[in-house]
Structure 1
Amino acid sequence: MKYKYQLILIGENEEFFKALEIELKKGFDDLKIISDALKIIREQDVDNEYSGGQAAFVIYAGHKNNITGRQLEILEKQKLDANIILPVYNKSFTEEIPDFLSNQNGVTYNDNLIKIKNIVLEGFELLRKNRKLFISYKRSESSNIAIQLYEFLERNNFDVFIDTHSINKGEEFQEELWHRMTDCDLILMLNTKEFLKSDWCKQELDKAHLKRIGIVHLLWPDCDFEDFSHLGYSKKLNDKDFDKPLFSDLTKGRLKESALSEILNLVESSRARNLASRQDWLITDFTQAANDNNIEVNLQYSRYITQKLDNGKLKVFIPTVGIPQSINCHNSQKLIKQIEDKEIESITLIFDELSIRNYWLEHLDWLNEYLEIKTLKKSQFNTVFSK
């Protein structure tokens, strides 16, 4: 395998490095990318192992009182190569991180290993940096908790959709709600006692299943767990998770910090698996369309599809979750050029257009006339092979 995702580890915190390596391999498994694609490079091996032409992410987990000239040399070189450097510290950024990295955003070891793993995956562009979440809830039962979660997740760098805060006046409410749901990484569903009796909540649940969007279910203490026991991403809340007893006035109740931390961990750990699941759905439908038209296509290890033409060139099709945007086009072209030695005939982003608003679909059609990277709706999969 020629292409590697390079993680360069600088510093002396071996316990953290070993734990992160294990967590990252799980992340690659969740994304269904073979773990051989991840290359861990220690500081003593950088000169021989590092390749400037491939994706790289750097973690510094040391102390400025112990930093060596060699470590500074490596960090300076990585900064010149425009690779992201993430400082990881114990308690105090200013006391532990060298001045050379003072302008970088850092995280603490206590910020959660899963969160750090996802930052690395985002740096490799395997998870999108714009972390979108949709909150589904019944207003009469959990609006106060929904707003609390909205504020908490926004503080933790999620772009959160909640109907009372996220739709501008004058917008077509229901169309915009489905549009925003389509483009989210996950749905955080607040399953209160009467949740499933609400027509709107049931519609959101049905739409999520139709779009294969992953759902993290928060189950209220008085909610019948049997209705949701088959779900993979769920947390059963109990009285101690709230600052008020369940049967007091919960319209003013709040979740405790410990519960919020567990919810954040569940959301973080679910993102990669949901992305892979939605990509699988697109890959299966696209491959079936190719087979129906007697066209051979191949799924590559980085989760894109290739069709080899008679002239030896490749057509590349990239499954795109959510709504394709210009950044998808840019990143896709950059990644394919790094990975492939063969000449590329074309690159196309394939996506499911269900519930995406017409104005955006028209915009994508317009972009297809001008951009080198094209987009292809799921409803048009057969047409690309029948020409």
Structure 2
Amino acid sequence: MKYKYQLIILGSNVPEKKIVIDQVKAELRNLKLPEEFIKVIPASCFEAEYKGNQPAFALYFGDTSGDFKDLGVTQKLLKDGTMILPIYYDNFNSDIPCILSNQNATQYSHSEVHKIANVVLESFELLRDTRKVFISYRRAESTDVAIQLYEALEGYNFDVFLDTHSIQKGEPFQDELWHRMTDCDVIVLLNTPGFLESHWCKEEFAEASAKQIGIVQLVWPNHQIEDIDKSSYISYPIQLKDDDFASKELLDKKKRLVHSKVKLVITEVEAVRARNLAARQDNLITEFRNIAEKHKRTVTVQPEKILTEDLPNGEHIIYIPTIGIPQSSSCQSAEIKKELMGYDNVSIRLIYDDLRIRDKWLNHLDWLNDNFKKDIKTLKKRDFELWLQKA
């Protein structure tokens, strides 16, 4: 591998360093990427191992006593434009040096470890930074909990879809709903007793299974999960009890979850993202390779979860499986992956599943392909066969 992502570890020598690094490695495994894909560089090895021309991200672990370390390295990284995430414990102003006072920080806790690891992956474009969540629920039974989770997830920087809050007036409701589900990372499904009795809720669940989107499932008290869990592609059920609700009245439709359970849902959503992304990437890769094999095209899966094809004329094609709707950030990620492969004469195709993406978006992506001569273009699933049968 010509390039490596560099994770630089700065600050106090605390046990949390190992916990976070281990979680980053676990998330790489969830993404089915090799651990060595990210090179962890402690501050003590910075001068010997750091390469300024390769992608880098830094974590700075604060100190509750104000004994700040590695300020020289921190200054150099800031000058280079490297992103640094300060991690504090009690108080940002006292735990973090002034040199990092303008940086967005996170407070360390056990529930934040997944989030910190995901921020690292997002910074290297290994995990989408859009953080999209879709809440599926039956209005007659769980509207207040749905709104509660919407507000809580938004507060944790998730882009949350909730039908009553997220569809603009004048938009075709059902088309926009399927479109937003296609582009999400995780579905939070409120499995109330009457959930599957609703036609639209049942449709949403079937759509999630067809798109193989991971589901964090909240199962209401005294309600079974078997009916829904058997057909779900990736489902993580949370069985709720009466004590998980602030109101104990069985007929109270305005029930809200207690704070600890809301925090659990947020942690679980954070934990599911990488696993779900990997599963959907694998499915897209498998389908593309099967069609390529049928047409005698030699497409190779690289450890970085991208596909490459070497053409007889000396040109190369990189195919990058793209989950959801290709965006400008997908192109930025593609440029990094081109550098990783070390190719010169190369074109890139962002391959994606176009099922349920609205026509106006598909037409826009096709227009970009036709009108820009950039070497990065999109290729939708319905065109895999046509593209790969070309001589």
Alpha-carbon shift at residue 371 of structure 1 (Å)? 4.7
Q: Which residue of 270, 276, 279 corresponds with 1:277?
A: 279
Q: Deviations over 1:131-181 (max 9, x none)?
A: 110000000000010011001100010000011111111110000110111
What is the aligned partner in structure 2 of residue 206 from structure 1? 206
Deviations 1:232-277 (A, max 9, x none): 411111111100115141x222101100011011100000000001
Q: Residue type of the partner of 1:96? A: D
Q: SS at 2:15's partner residue?
A: helix
The residue number in structure 2 matching 1:20 is 20
Letter in 2 for 1:19: I
Q: Secondary structure at the match of 1:315?
A: strand
Equivalent residues in 2 for 1:73-222, closer than 5 Å: 73-110=72-109, 112-222=112-222
How many residues were matched structurally? 383
- Following the alignment from structure 1 to structure 2, what is the Cα–Cα distance between the partners of residues 113 and 288? 38
Question: Letter of the aligned partner of 1:142 in structure 2?
Answer: S
Alignment match, 1:302: 304
Q: Match of 1:275, as an amino acid? A: L
Equivalent positions of 1:40-79 (< 5 A) are: 40-63=40-63, 65-68=66-69, 71-79=70-78
1:374 paired residue among 353, 374, 377: 377
Structure 1 counterpart SS, 2:184: coil
Contact 2:12/2:68, CA 8 A, preserved across alignment: no
Structure-2 separation of matches of 1:85 and 1:16? 17
**What is the CA deviation profile of residues 175-203 of structure 1, one whole-angstrom value per residue up to 9, with x for unaligned ones?**
01101110001111100001011100000
Cα distance change of structure 1 residues 219 and 371 upon mapping to structure 2, 3 Å threshold: farther
Cα distance, 1:287 vs structure 2: 0.3
Task: For 1:277-356, list aligned pairs within 5 A.
Answer: 277-333=279-335, 335-356=336-357
The RMSD of aligned alpha carbons is 1.4
> How far did 1:213 drift?
1.2
Structure 1: gaps (5+ residues):
none
* Residues in 2 aligned to 1:342 and 1:353: alpha-carbon distance in whole angstroms: 28
TM-score, structure 2 as length reference: 0.95
Q: Match for 1:74: what amino acid?
A: V
Secondary structure (helix, strand or coil) at the match of 1:323 reads: coil
C-alpha displacement at 1:12, in angstroms?
A: 1.8
- Tell me the SS of whatever aligns to 1:264: helix
Letter in 1 for 2:331: C
Q: What are structure 2's unaligned runs of at least 5 residues?
A: none
In the other structure, the counterpart of 1:8 is 8
1:273 maps to amino acid: R
Q: Displaced runs of 4+ in structure 1, greater than 4 A?
A: 228-231
Counterpart contact for 2:62–2:89, Cα < 8 Å: no
CA distance in 2, matches of 1:228, 1:366: 40
Determine the C-alpha separation between the residues in 1 that align with 2:78 and 2:301: 34
Give the match's secondary structure for 2:9: strand
The 3-state SS of whatever aligns with 1:130 is coil
Q: Name the SS of the counterpart of 1:129 in structure 2.
A: coil
2:132·2:183 contact (CA, 8 Å) conserved in 1? Answer: yes
1:54, 1:338 within 8 Å by CA — same for their partners in 2? no
Identity between Structure 1 and Structure 2 (%): 47
Structure 1 residue 3: Cα displacement = 2.6
CA distance, structure 1, for counterparts of residue 198 and residue 47 of structure 2: 61
Task: Tell me if structure 2 keeps the 8 A contact 1:53–1:338.
Answer: no
Aligned to 2:244: 241
SS at match of 1:54: coil
Distance 1:326 1:342 in 2: 21
How many angstroms apart in 2 are the aligned matches of 1:226 and 1:213?
A: 18
Report how far residue 229 of structure 1 moved. 5.2
The question of whether the paired residues in 2 share the 8 Å contact of 1:114 and 1:268 is answered with: yes
Displacement of 1:344 in angstroms is 3.5
